[in-house]
Amino acid sequence: MERLEFERLCCDASAELGVADTGALGQGFGSTFRDVRFETSFDEAGDSFLLLAELGEIEESQRAAVYENMLIAQHMTWNRPSLRFGFDPERRKVMLCVEAHFGQQTGGAWLAKLMRAVAAQALEWRQTLLAGKVREGGLGHQA
């Protein structure tokens, strides 16, 4: 997929989700939907892109517990290799990382559906897996 096609995909998805700045996600800026900050990582040479959803900032006293819980969850989802956790060192935030493959049904509605599912998972894990261990609140464009 070419850069402009990717930007259009993100723009269409953002519009479907009601995000105010529909161009932010595809241009490498953060975009917020349902209190979850999203980012993307895209390379024209690939057949997929990375959708990153912010889980929150780790409370210093909870770092080991958070990493342990995330590794347990990652181990339990061994059959979903496109789902991983990450860490943004500049913003000090833990991230849910989802590899999204381009295919025949790739379009704004498809990406919006994926973002809804990822946001729901991120919000659920904030209340369960990471409850009391991370500070939420993203910077970016609100929906």
| Per-residue model confidence as pLDDT tens for the chain (143 residues) | 899 999 999 999 999 999 999 999 999 899 999 999 999 999 888 889 999 999 998 888 888 888 888 888 888 877 877 889 888 888 889 999 999 998 877 899 999 999 999 999 999 988 888 888 877 554 333 34
> Which residues are 102's β-sheet partners?
none
pLDDT at 136: 59
The values of phi and psi at residue 109, to 5°, are -65, -40
Residue 134, judged by CB atoms within 10 A of its CB (0-12, 13-18, 19+), counts as buried
Rounded to two decimals, the pTM is 0.86
pLDDT at 83: 82
Copy the structure tokens of residue 4.
Answer: 């402009």
Amino acid in the structure at residue 130: L
DSSP code for 141: B
Contact 54, 93 (CB under 8 A): yes
pLDDT at 141: 34
pLDDT at 139: 35
- Helix H or strand E encompassing 122: helix 108-127
Q: What are the structural domains, with CATH classification, of the chain?
A: 3-135 (3.30.1460.10)
Contact 135, 35 (CB under 8 A): no
SS3 137: coil
**CB-based contacts of 2, cutoff 8 Å, min separation 6:** 44
In whole angstroms, give the CA distance from residue 109 to residue 13: 6
